[in-house]
């Protein structure tokens, strides 16, 4: 995990100023190289080959700067006879040797999370991002060439662009909590979208393609609609099953499901094994849900010593929790069953007002997901103990865990509705639908999963994980979002994902066997941060102040009314956007920004 920055083409090379703005991502050191037509910079968080893995990395006549990890670097070296040629233990060096042999075809061999710039011995320059979009990369073309960096703040630090708000992106942020596609909140700056690879020549993009995280062609027998077991199930998340017998497969399916459970065990164990590759301490974030419990189960199996796990709970009265539960008790039960080295931290109203501006600073490309707050607190707690953290992101998207998937499978007369956001602005919803549009031939369940993998996952969940952990110099890894796990999960029949009122049916069956303490069939507790309860006492004061924020006044003239009498959930996105705008558009310090909007914390 690191930061990269640089420029391709031209003679102006602002890379030094760019990388200095990103040292929170790479606190172990900065290196910079300039050559004819290129400047490459790297801020390092040392994870693999602590002595020899410095970048820019040269091998086989090429050079690369990369952010993230290539998990199958050992297999690439072994399977392609590269071991004798390697001069370092870096996970990026095999890529340079493979590119020298195969050209851009080498990119398709990678298994990992990454964003990189590679200049090959053939003189061709490439920018690439992993198919799920786990690691970020931003680009802008300007008179001096094409600049790239891991975060938008680098472009401002180098004086390459002005802080001009993209109004369309801002409206998407407040309506959806994230910004879809390649758009950023800043005019003139775009994201490289997940899986995108572009060739740059003389400072301009000359070609590009995009690789999908999921197979582009529908699988045979791809579900064909709603399985009988899922029809009329009530569809609510976490409906308690009356007995184990009601979950048992029919005799005709028993053999198939035993085989799938064995395969699931093997593919998840393999993914966790390669995601643990590290020369520094690693552990995990453990919630009370089944995704992180599954990761914890496999880490406990693969490690001789107790694995360190961090859990965050909320210090708030039950009346403020909106029906959600503090997950610490369930996380502790899993930790005890697996003999984890369990650490807990808490999050309360004081943390909310302290951390809100820090999160807004870290999210220069923002998501207004309130889950950023406990994620940031967890990273704060883990810093100094861990450098690598495994998390459960992606389990819901790949194995169909969300209640909205089950609602989408039901007929309208039973409460069914499409698995899409409820955006009040028709233009915002239209842009989301365009970004989420699946290829033809998918089942309704697959189409809903595809939409989330294309939109909410990279623009919300993964952006949140990257920024909140990197603000503390931690590397976040997501074993569910692995190409082998994705290939397995996408090929599953729909009945193995949704059945009898449950999403993630096969994963639950596996966890029932692997870690019963995780209570995989228990009623699901929604994940809620009680932000509305913490904002409410200050709502009148915020309403009087929020209209003075330039971007809020311009785009949301009804903000004051929405703060005092708007619908449930309307206050938090506006508050976040106001604090974010003061920091990233008007240049306020984080503490000053929250005080200007909400008074002294």
401-413, pLDDT tens digit by residue?
999 999 989 888 8
**What CA–CA distances, in Å, run from 490 to 88, 212, 294?**
36, 12, 18
**Chain centroid, CA 580 distance in Å:** 20
pLDDT value at residue 527: 66
Does the pLDDT of residue 241 top 50, yes or no?
Answer: no
- Mean pLDDT across the stretch 9-16? 80
- Mean pLDDT across the stretch 529-556? 94
Bigger pLDDT: 555 vs 500:
555
pLDDT value at residue 215: 81
Percentage of residues of the chain with pLDDT beyond 70: 91
Q: For residue 195, give the nearest of 166, 215, 222 by alpha carbon.
A: 215
- Mean pLDDT across the stretch 432-450? 95
Token pair of 434, please? 């365009």
**What CA–CA distances, in Å, run from 464 to 132, 349, 365, 367?**
14, 20, 10, 7
Does the pLDDT of residue 141 top 50, yes or no?
Answer: yes
What domains lie within the chain, and their CATH numbers? 2-210 (3.60.20.10), 229-518 (3.40.50.620), 531-598 (no CATH)
Token pair of 30, please? 């900065």
pLDDT value at residue 257: 87
DSSP state of 186: B
Percentage of residues of the chain with pLDDT beyond 90: 81
Does the pLDDT of residue 247 top 70, yes or no?
Answer: no
Bigger pLDDT: 219 vs 116:
116
Bigger pLDDT: 460 vs 321:
460
Please check whether residue 70 is in contact with residue 91, taking contact to mean a CB–CB distance below 8 angstroms. Answer: yes
Please provide the size of the chain in residues: 601
- 3-state DSSP of 37-62: CEEEEEEECCCCCCCCCCCCEEECCE
Does the pLDDT of residue 398 top 70, yes or no?
Answer: yes
- Mean pLDDT across the stretch 530-534? 91
543 vs 558: CA distance, rounded Å: 10
Tell me the pLDDT tens digit for each residue of 255-287: 788 999 999 999 999 999 999 999 999 999 999
Q: What are phi and psi of 112, to 5 degrees?
A: 170, -165
Tell me the pLDDT tens digit for each residue of 29-54: 999 999 878 999 999 999 998 999 99
Torsion sign across C-alpha atoms 408, 411, 414, 415? positive
**What CA–CA distances, in Å, run from 494 to 212, 398, 446, 587?**
20, 11, 8, 49
Q: For residue 155, give the nearest of 357, 7, 362, 366 by alpha carbon.
A: 7
Say how many C-beta atoms besides its own lie within 10 A of residue 209's C-beta.
Answer: 12
Say how many C-beta atoms besides its own lie within 10 A of residue 258's C-beta.
Answer: 12
511 vs 489: CA distance, rounded Å: 15
pLDDT value at residue 203: 92
Q: pTM for the complete prediction?
A: 0.92
Q: Quick one: pLDDT band at residue 572, thresholds 50, 70, 90?
A: very high
Does the pLDDT of residue 217 top 50, yes or no?
Answer: yes
Tell me the pLDDT tens digit for each residue of 456-504: 999 999 999 999 999 999 999 999 999 999 999 999 999 999 998 899 9
482 vs 194: CA distance, rounded Å: 14
pLDDT value at residue 569: 82
Q: What are phi and psi of 577, to 5 degrees?
A: -60, -40
**What CA–CA distances, in Å, run from 332 to 77, 384, 518?**
40, 22, 10
Tell me the pLDDT tens digit for each residue of 340-387: 999 999 999 999 999 999 999 999 999 999 999 999 999 999 999 999
240 vs 59: CA distance, rounded Å: 56
Helix (H) or strand (E) holding 169: helix 167-176
Q: Quick one: pLDDT band at residue 254, thresholds 50, 70, 90?
A: confident
pLDDT value at residue 230: 31
Token pair of 278, please? 């590290």
**Chain centroid, CA 249 distance in Å:** 34
pLDDT value at residue 243: 32
Q: Quick one: pLDDT band at residue 601, thresholds 50, 70, 90?
A: low
pLDDT value at residue 438: 94
Token pair of 184, please? 């950023």
H helices of 285-425, where? 290-302, 328-338, 349-362, 372-382, 395-399, 403-409
Burial 79-113 (b: 16+ CB within 10 A, else e): ebebeeebebbbbbbbbbbbbbeeebebbebbbbb
Residues 6+ apart with CB under 8 A from 450: 214, 436, 438, 439, 442
What average pLDDT does the structure give for the chain?
90
- Provide the strand spans (E) within 419-577: 475-477
């Amino acid at each position: 995990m690191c930061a990269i920055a640089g420029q391709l083409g031209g003679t102006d090379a602002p890379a030094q100023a760019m990388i200095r703005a990103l040292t929170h991502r790479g606190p172990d050191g900065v290196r910079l190289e300039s050559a004819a037509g290129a400047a490459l910079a790297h801020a390092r968080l040392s994870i693999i080959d602590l002595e020899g893995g410095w970048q820019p990395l040269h091998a086989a006549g090429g050079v690369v700067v990369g952010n993230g990890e290539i998990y199958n670097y050992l297999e690439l070296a072994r399977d392609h006879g590269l071991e004798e040629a390697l001069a370092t233990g870096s996970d990026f060096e095999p890529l340079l040797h493979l590119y020298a042999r195969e050209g851009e075809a080498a990119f398709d061999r990678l298994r990992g999370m990454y964003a990189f710039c590679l200049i090959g011995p053939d003189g061709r320059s490439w920018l690439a991002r992993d198919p799920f979009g786990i690691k970020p990369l931003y680009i802008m073309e300007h008179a001096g060439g094409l600049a790239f960096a891991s975060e938008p703040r680098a472009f401002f630090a180098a004086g390459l662009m002005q802080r001009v708000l993209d109004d369309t992106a801002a409206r998407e942020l407040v309506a959806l909590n994230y910004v879809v596609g390649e758009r950023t909140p800043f005019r003139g700056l775009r994201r490289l979208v997940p899986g995108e690879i572009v060739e740059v020549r003389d400072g301009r993009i000359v070609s590009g393609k995009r690789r999908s995280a999921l197979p582009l062609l529908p699988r045979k027998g791809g579900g064909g609609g709603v399985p009988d077991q899922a029809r009329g199930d009530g569809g609510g998340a976490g409906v308690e099953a009356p007995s184990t017998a009601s979950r048992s497969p029919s005799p005709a399916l028993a053999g198939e499901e035993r085989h799938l459970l064995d395969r699931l065990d093997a593919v998840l164990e393999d993914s966790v094994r390669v995601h643990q590759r590290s020369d520094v301490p690693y552990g995990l974030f453990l919630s009370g849900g089944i995704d992180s419990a599954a990761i914890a189960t496999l880490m406990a199996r693969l490690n001789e010593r107790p694995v360190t796990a961090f859990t965050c709970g909320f210090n708030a009265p039950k009346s403020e929790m909106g029906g959600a539960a503090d997950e610490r008790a369930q996380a502790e039960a899993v930790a005890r069953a697996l003999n984890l080295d369990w650490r807990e931290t808490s999050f309360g109203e004081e943390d909310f007002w302290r951390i809100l501006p820090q999160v807004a600073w870290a999210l220069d490309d923002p998501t207004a997901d309130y889950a950023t707050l406990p994620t940031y607190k967890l990273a704060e707690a883990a810093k100094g103990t861990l450098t690598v953290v495994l998390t459960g992101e992606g389990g819901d998207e790949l194995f169909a865990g969300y209640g909205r998937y089950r609602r989408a499978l039901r007929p309208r007369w039973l409460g069914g509705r499409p698995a899409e956001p409820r955006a009040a602005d028709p233009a915002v919803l239209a842009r989301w639908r365009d970004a989420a549009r699946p290829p033809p031939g998918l089942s309704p369940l697959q189409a809903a999963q595809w939409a989330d993998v294309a939109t909410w996952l990279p623009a919300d969940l993964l952006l949140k994980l990257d920024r909140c952990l990197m603000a503390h110099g931690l590397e976040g890894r997501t074993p569910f979002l692995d190409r082998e796990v994705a290939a397995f999960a996408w090929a599953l029949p729909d009945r193995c994902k949704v059945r009898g009122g449950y999403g993630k049916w096969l994963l639950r069956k596996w966890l029932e066997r692997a870690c019963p303490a995780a209570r995989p069939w228990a009623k699901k507790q929604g994940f809620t941060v009680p932000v509305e309860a913490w904002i409410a006492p200050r709502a009148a004061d915020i309403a009087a102040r929020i209209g003075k924020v330039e971007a809020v006044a311009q785009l949301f003239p009804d903000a004051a009314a929405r703060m005092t009498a708007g619908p449930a959930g309307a206050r938090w996105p506006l508050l976040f956007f106001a604090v974010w705008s003061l920091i990233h558009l008007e240049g306020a310090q984080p503490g000053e920004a929250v005080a200007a909007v909400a008074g002294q914390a």
